[in-house]
């Protein structure tokens, strides 16, 4: 759901860390090393993608608390 509403590439999604998400501003900050263009970027969190990430945060707190990755294994 997150990638569908943000247009993020798979590498941007899989390398996403919690520290790069600003829920207050509804933004995700992308660093050059995580982008195909090698430039800084910002994704705006639309309500469905924001909700998906908040749900993921609840899962994260229960199953992989020690990981900085949003999509941990």
Between CA 1 and CA 10 the distance in angstroms is 12
pLDDT digit string, tens, across residues 4-63: 666 677 777 788 899 999 999 999 998 777 667 778 888 889 999 999 999 999 999 999
- Indicate the pTM of the whole model: 0.77
* 20: Cα separation from own chain's centroid: 7
In angstroms, the Cα distances linking 70 to 42, 54, 57 are 17, 10, 7
Q: Looking at the chain, list the stretches that DSSP marks H as alpha helix, in order from N- to C-terminal side.
A: 2-6, 10-14, 47-63
């Amino acid at each position: 759901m997150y990638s569908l509403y943000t247009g993020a590439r798979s590498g941007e999604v899989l390398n996403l860390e919690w520290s790069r998400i600003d829920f207050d501003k509804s933004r995700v900050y992308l660093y050059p090393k995580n982008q195909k263009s090698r430039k800084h970027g910002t994704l705006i969190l639309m309500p469905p993608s924001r909700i998906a990430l908040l749900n993921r945060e609840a899962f994260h707190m229960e199953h992989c608390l020690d990981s900085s990755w949003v999509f941990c294994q």
